[in-house]
Amino acid sequence: MDLKLYKRPISSLSVTGDRVRVTPGVITKFSSALSAKSINIYCISMGEYSVSFFVDDADMEKARDALEDIVSKTSSFGALSITRNLGMVTVTGTEFMGKPGVISKLAGVLATKNINIVSISTSFDSAVLLLNWKDCGMAYETIGRDFRI
């Protein structure tokens, strides 16, 4: 298992609206606007009524300006909200493949330290955890010490 703690704070920019998930090209529309401003996207999270882009906190204002322009001109998007001072920890390994309950165990280890997962994105071999910035060091240490599959 590989564990990585990102050393800089992250911001979340979340676009909400009743038609976010059913709007064709929604990811392309917003990610292209961020790319045009040379903003790297660390993670994307999508729900029924929202899509969130996680970027370096230092790029938040440029990202906000790029996304606000689209939100203000498109009726299917209601609002843009920003959450600052997030941190990112990634856990990668073959342990994630084909083993039920891995995410539950990971969340349980963090819960024992009262660490809230703000957002999580998973793939076949990894989990990207977005946490409050103040909790990242503890989360990194706790996962490294206590997470067993």
What digits encode the pLDDT tens for the residues 96-145?
Answer: 777 888 889 999 999 999 999 999 998 888 999 999 999 999 999 999 99
Residue where a domain stops, chosen among 68, 84, 100: 84
pLDDT at residue 148 tops 70: no
In a domain, 5, yes or no: no
The answer to whether the CB of 52 falls within 8 A of the CB of 44 is yes
Cα separation, 94 vs 128, whole angstroms: 15
In a domain, 141, yes or no: yes
For position 93, what pLDDT does the model report? 87
- Six-digit token string for 69: 């322009």
For position 144, what pLDDT does the model report? 92
Q: Which of 77, 69, 70, 126 is nearest to 103 (CA)?
A: 126
Do both 80 and 90 map to the same domain? Answer: no
Which DSSP helix (H) or strand (E) runs through 131? strand 126-132
In a domain, 3, yes or no: no
What digits encode the pLDDT tens for the residues 48-82?
Answer: 899 999 999 999 999 999 999 899 887 778 899 99
Please give the residue range of the domain that contains residue 41.
Answer: 10-84
Burial of 9 from C-beta contacts in 10 A (0-12 / 13-18 / 19+): middle
